[in-house]
Amino acid sequence: MAFIEIGNNISISKKAWDGSGQEIFVPNLINIISTLHEKFEPRRQKLLKARKERQQKFDAGSLPDYEDKNSEACTGNWKIKNIPQDFMKRRVEITGPVNDPKMVINMLSRNGEGFRADTAMVDFEDSMKPSFDNVINGIKNVIAASHGNLRFEKTNSSGKVEKSYVLNPEDMAGLMVRVRGLHLNESNLKINNTPIHGGLLELAACFYHTSKILLKKNKTPKYYIPKCEHHEEASWWNDLFTEIETLCGYNQPTLRATFLIETLPAAFQVEEILFAVKEHIIGLNVGRWDKIFSDIKVLKNHPDRISADRATINMQKFWMDHYAKRLIKICHSRGAFAIGGMSAFTPGSDEEIRNFQTEKVFQDKSYEAEIGHDGCWVSHPYFIGHAMKAFTQDNQLSVTLEDFDKHPDLIMDGKGPRTLDGLRTNIRVGIAYLRGWNQDLGCVSWDNLMEDLATLEISRAQTWQWLHHQIKLESGETVTKDLINNLFNEELTNIINEHELDNNNEIKNEYMKAKDLAFSLFTQEKLDDFLSENSDLY
């Protein structure tokens, strides 16, 4: 891999620089990134080390718990900074990968029925594989969307334009950018031969290139922060926000953020996290899928906390219900939004499936609205109008759940079915998702669900946990490596038959390669914390 110097001790992969890199990494931004890295990277590494130390204690038998319930964060008379007017209504948020211009346009625009999401979160994380090509294209799309001139032309095999997709700058959803989490490195941009933090890259590049454009239009530069685990990590992000603002010439909080509470440790620190970012925060989000992954990962060595089939873990499970209501109660008492989670359904290929999926989404969103969320997530434009029907008010900041104890039980109970079908589902997701991953995709539509990195991680961690404890399934089989291997082979055959791939060796080989990779990852001796913590070299 060839790297070239683009600044003092800063190097970038030559292929990226010769492509679109020079459009993005102008000298001022290079200097900003260098300054941020030097100031914040040592502290980031200490935070990542603290994560591992906490997990070692959990692996040894301890459980996550609340910290000081009498701290200023928990008992003080404080509120977050006022929510900007352009983000006072977030009933339905749509999400998807930032690198695909057509998808970004569709997320920001009205759907075929005339419904538009209030806000759109364009994503550098769970729904986008962080190849550097995708990262660069994502930054370019954010810049164009900020200007309101993003466009995409669909061409046929002869190069003729069949359809054009354009934004209407006067009728766009509110633009939000989710950056990569604290643990993710960008391998294609190095300072002193050390990869920089991926989230720092996206935050600095997007804010530098778009803040003045947005502010001129009376729009707030708005970001989503994923996978925070501790209030000290939240403080790190808050300090990073302030430093970026200062380096870009702003002397007051300009950038605003929503944090995803999608890890088990963070669920115990909702108020402390909110307090740590009170000058920049707008709200918190119930990131249910990554939370399920975190529940399994954190408790993976606990034989009395073995997870049930993924399909049975919903928001009605007491520990999930408590986690959502705790977030609502705390956020609203402090003046912040409490955004609900993702319904991962896709519209379905026929009317019967579509109607079933639509009813499921409406039921899910109705429950979220009933308990007090201000808004929710959907993964497909088709569901925007149906989700809107559940949220009839601009927000529900007045809902404070006075009778709910804000320190409830948040630990998964380890009860529920563990079935052969559940194991097959995990294996099918592994094959399908990793086939997409190998093609530079971060999300795939599969078996009428949208599978992204979070749902892949649930499947990976749960299969590993069941194997590690060699649990007995309801049908009598013991989960062993041989059983998992047999099921991988069976499901590969099923996929080939279902998609009629016998005569398509290229696609068949892609699924075979994905099957081998998934089997290796799902049955490794030690469960990795994440599928990957480094981007692919470009």
Catalytic positions are 178, 452
Cβ atoms of 287 and 341 within 8 Å: the answer is: yes
| DSSP, residue by residue, 40-90 | HHHHHHHHHHHHHHHHHHHHTT-------TTSHHHHS---PPPPPGGGS--
What burial class does residue 516 get, using C-beta atoms within 10 Å of its C-beta: 0-12 exposed, 13-18 middle, 19+ buried?
Answer: middle
What percent of the chain is helix, strand and coil (3-state, nearest 5)? 45, 15, 35
Cβ atoms of 344 and 449 within 8 Å: the answer is: yes
Report the distance separating Cα 512 and Cα 518, nearest Å.
10
> What is the crossing angle of helices 453-468 and 420-438, to 10°?
130
Name the nearest CA neighbour of 424 among 453, 468, 466: 466
Coil/strand/helix, residue 459: helix
CA dihedral 122, 125, 129, 132 (to 10 degrees): 80
Radius of gyration of the chain measured on its C-alpha atoms: 23
Report the distance separating Cα 526 and Cα 465, nearest Å.
10
Cβ atoms of 142 and 210 within 8 Å: the answer is: yes
CB atoms inside a 10 Å sphere around CB 131: 18
Coil/strand/helix, residue 113: coil
Query: Longest Cα pair distance anywhere in the chain, in angstroms?
Result: 68
Q: Length of the chain in residues, anyone? A: 538
Report the distance separating Cα 366 and Cα 343, nearest Å.
12
Q: In the beta sheet, which residues pair with residue 151?
A: 166
| DSSP, residue by residue, 262-326 | -SHHHHTTHHHHHHHTTTTEEEEEE-HHHHHHHHHHHTTT-TT-PPP-GGG--TTSHHHHHHHHH
Element of type H or E holding 482 = helix 481-498
Report the distance separating Cα 495 and Cα 484, nearest Å.
16
| DSSP, residue by residue, 341-405 | EEE-B---SSHHHHHHHHHHHHHHHHHHHHHT-SEEEESSGGGHHHHHHH--SS--TT---TTS-
Cβ atoms of 186 and 130 within 8 Å: the answer is: yes
